[in-house]
């Protein structure tokens, strides 16, 4: 597949009008939507912005490659835009960006699509290619230039393959590298090609492994690692590190693999890097963990994100069983229905999906900390917590405990003879990890945490009046503060814990608070049109559907463009909706679903009223506060 199979005339903007980073994202996304390449432009922009938060895609040399892999993409595509004046895109070199390639990859994109998107990133490392794109006079010429460059690259690849087979081996050292970025589409391959080109120029025997969207390519072998002078790991996500035990390893963000190639290769040849100890630690993770607890948050989110399918699937199945009657799953009750019992058994907390919540949470927290060896001890610790009724708090403790216990074991066992390496992951780590984690959970953790969990359950079930309303106010407001960030996830997790404790009111407040920001923005763009640009008004309409589906992230593009007004207005509206939900004594047994699970609510009309009032408050605040568009 060629690049121009994904880049067509209807996705080329030869003269971008945008003057800011946000405007560029809006204009390019709008072009993709206009060309019918997207299912949901707002969800796509939210995914683009989420990637930008991890690190800028303005890679320097006048290039920016905003990209995302998301279900919001209908057809994998590339949108090209050129700005002759340049745009401040927060590029790595601090210079304006002139060439923009927005890459839209669908969740189900096949390997050919992803390989093609990745090849574009590699071609852009050629300065002459970039110059020709800058000077092109039409969309047709852009496509012709790219086609010509692809043919050149294919020929060079073949020539390089032949020359590598006939080389005599007189090279200045042997260096290996691994590159990886969160989406595995652009930076992964740009860093690989930049390092490869500079190594060739410096006469270094070099090989690079890419950890991209289509999996690991050009994997490093044990023999190559043994022969290497040093290894460069340019990655913004976790890669397999234990194989580099005892080697000089340079660990840097993937952006440095693009920008600082000569410096990295020189350091590698001189072995100017610490010797890596195979303890499962990634030094970037250690550095991150010192920054406001980001490491702990990352581990927690790994557990929560892997737990969510069990939460949503199990919760909705249990909620569906209530259609047959609240007690219809109980064989001793006159309302008994076998279908209701089957639904409850599959999704419920005694033997179904909900019973797995705590073990899965703990297992994936532990594996985030200690890689795969942490998973089994984490699962066992979580299972013990669940059986002791220690709840989510017990699962959190079990996950972190198991993860750090396995890290300690890795350090202790690192002194064993190298011949025992093979039995560590299959015998030593699981046996001692489970034993230590299990003993600590049974004799030290479970009893006090179970008491705390029972106290929390009693408190939730006893909430009434002002206390309940205040809790709803806090939870609803938290859902809008960072719209999918740590506070939003903390409120959502609290709501799930409340459902597990058979207290269905708090999560109703959580869902109401999460639906308000996109709904409020949608209403504001409808009734205060003069306060929004034409692009924002079009995007606002999509927020009706995102808000109704409980997708708070639909508000992110608006919050990014005008954070103070949008976030404050959303928090006030969401807090109001959450408080009203609790004041109306609304209960919701389903963890997700938005308007589609309102029939499961005990007071559906009052619940819809709470959401509507919160959304109207957000819309009115935005409409009055925002300035008119010129």
- List the catalytic residues: 67, 181
CB neighbours of residue 127 within 10 Å: 10
CA distance 222 to 218: 13
CA distance 574 to 617: 9
CA distance 544 to 275: 54
CA distance 344 to 320: 8
Burial of 397 (0-12, 13-18, 19+ CB in 10 A): buried
CA distance 358 to 378: 10
H-run or E-run covering 189: helix 187-202
| Long-range contacts formed by 4-9: CB under 8 A, 24+ apart | 4/143, 4/146, 4/147, 4/150, 5/116, 6/76, 6/77, 6/78, 6/113, 6/116, 6/117, 7/77, 7/78, 7/79, 7/80, 7/142, 7/143, 7/146, 8/35, 8/77, 9/139, 9/140, 9/143
Q: Estimate the share of the chain in helix, then strand, then coil, as percent rounded to the nearest 5.
A: 65, 10, 25
Given a contact cutoff of 8 angstroms between Cβ atoms, the answer to whether 32 and 48 are in contact is no
Provide the pairing of β-strand 63-64 with 58-60: antiparallel
Provide the pairing of β-strand 230-235 with 174-180: parallel
User: Cα 169–174–176 angle (5° rounding)?
Assistant: 130
Q: Which residue, 496, 514, 494, is CA-closest to 588?
A: 496
CA distance 544 to 515: 9
Q: Which residue, 228, 129, 111, 117, is CA-closest to 178?
A: 228
CA distance 293 to 520: 32
Q: What is the 3-state secondary structure (H, E, C) of 6-68?
A: CCCHHHEECCCCCCCHHHHHHHHHHHHHHCCCECCHHHHHHHHHHHHHHCCCEEECCEECCEE
CA distance 515 to 337: 33
User: Cα 253–488–404 angle (5° rounding)?
Assistant: 55
The full DSSP string for 447-489 is HHHHHHHHHHHHHHHH--HHHHHHHHHHHHHHHHHSSSSHHHH
CA distance 241 to 332: 56
């Amino acid at each position: 597949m060629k690049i121009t199979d994904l880049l067509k005339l209807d996705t080329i903007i030869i003269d971008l009008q945008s003057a800011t980073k946000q405007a560029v994202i809006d204009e390019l996304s709008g072009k993709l939507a206009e060309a019918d390449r997207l299912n949901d432009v707002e969800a796509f922009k939210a995914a683009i912005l989420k990637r930008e938060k991890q690190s800028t895609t303005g890679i320097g040399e006048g290039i920016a490659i905003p990209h995302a892999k998301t279900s919001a993409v209908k057809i994998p595509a590339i949108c090209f835009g050129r700005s002759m004046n340049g745009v401040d895109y927060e590029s790595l070199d601090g210079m304006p960006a002139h060439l923009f390639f927005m890459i839209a990859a669908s969740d189900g994109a096949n390997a050919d699509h992803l390989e093609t998107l990745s090849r574009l990133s590699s071609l852009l490392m050629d300065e002459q290619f970039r110059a020709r794109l800058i000077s092109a006079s039409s969309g047709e010429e852009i496509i012709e230039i790219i086609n010509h460059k692809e043919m050149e690259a294919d020929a060079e690849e073949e020539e390089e393959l032949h020359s590598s087979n006939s080389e005599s081996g007189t090279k200045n050292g042997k260096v290996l590298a691994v590159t990886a970025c969160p989406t595995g589409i652009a930076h992964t391959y740009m860093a690989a090609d930049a390092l490869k080109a500079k190594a060739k120029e410096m006469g270094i025997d070099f090989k690079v492994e890419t950890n991209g969207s289509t999996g690991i390519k050009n994997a490093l072998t044990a023999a190559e690692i043994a022969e290497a002078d040093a290894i460069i790991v340019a990655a913004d996500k976790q890669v397999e590190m234990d194989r580099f035990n005892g080697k000089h390893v340079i660990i840097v963000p993937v952006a440095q693999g693009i920008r600082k190639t000569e410096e990295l290769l020189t350091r590698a040849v001189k072995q100017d890097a610490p010797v890596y100890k195979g303890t499962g630690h990634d030094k970037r993770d250690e550095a991150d963990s010192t920054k406001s607890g980001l490491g702990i948050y990352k581990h927690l989110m790994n557990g929560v994100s892997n737990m969510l399918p069990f939460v949503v699937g199990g919760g909705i199945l249990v909620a569906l069983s209530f259609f047959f009657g609240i007690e219809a799953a109980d064989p001793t009750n006159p309302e008994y229905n076998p279908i209701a019992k089957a639904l409850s058994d599959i999704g419920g907390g005694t033997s179904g999906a909900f019973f797995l919540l705590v073990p899965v949470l703990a297992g994936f927290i532990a594996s985030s900390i200690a890689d795969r060896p942490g998973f089994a001890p984490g699962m066992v610790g979580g299972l013990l917590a669940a059986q002791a009724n220690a709840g989510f708090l017990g699962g959190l403790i079990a996950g972190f405990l198991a993860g750090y216990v396995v890290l300690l074991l890795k350090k202790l066992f690192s002194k064993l003879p190298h011949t025992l390496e093979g039995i560590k992951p299959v015998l030593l780590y699981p046996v001692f990890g489970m034993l230590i984690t299990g003993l600590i959970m049974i004799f030290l953790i479970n009893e006090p945490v179970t008491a705390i969990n029972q106290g929390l359950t009693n408190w939730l079930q006893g909430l009434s009046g002002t206390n309940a309303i205040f809790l709803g106010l806090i939870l609803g407001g938290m859902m809008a503060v960072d719209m999918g960030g740590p506070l939003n996830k903390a409120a959502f997790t609290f709501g799930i814990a409340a459902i597990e404790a058979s207290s269905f009111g708090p999560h109703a407040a959580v869902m109401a608070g999460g639906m308000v920001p996109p709904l409020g923005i949608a209403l504001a763009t409808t009734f205060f049109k003069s306060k929004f640009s034409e692009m924002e008004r079009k995007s606002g309409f999509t927020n009706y559907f995102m808000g109704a589906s409980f997708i708070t992230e639909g508000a992110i593009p608006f919050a990014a463009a005008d954070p103070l007004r949008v976030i404050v207005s959303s928090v006030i509206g969401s807090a109001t909706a959450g408080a009203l939900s609790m004041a109306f004594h609304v209960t919701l047994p389903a963890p997700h679903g938005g308007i589609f699970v309102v029939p499961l609510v005990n007071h559906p009309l009052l619940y819809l009223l709470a959401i509507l009032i919160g959304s109207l408050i957000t819309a009115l605040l935005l409409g009055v506060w925002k300035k008119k568009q010129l």
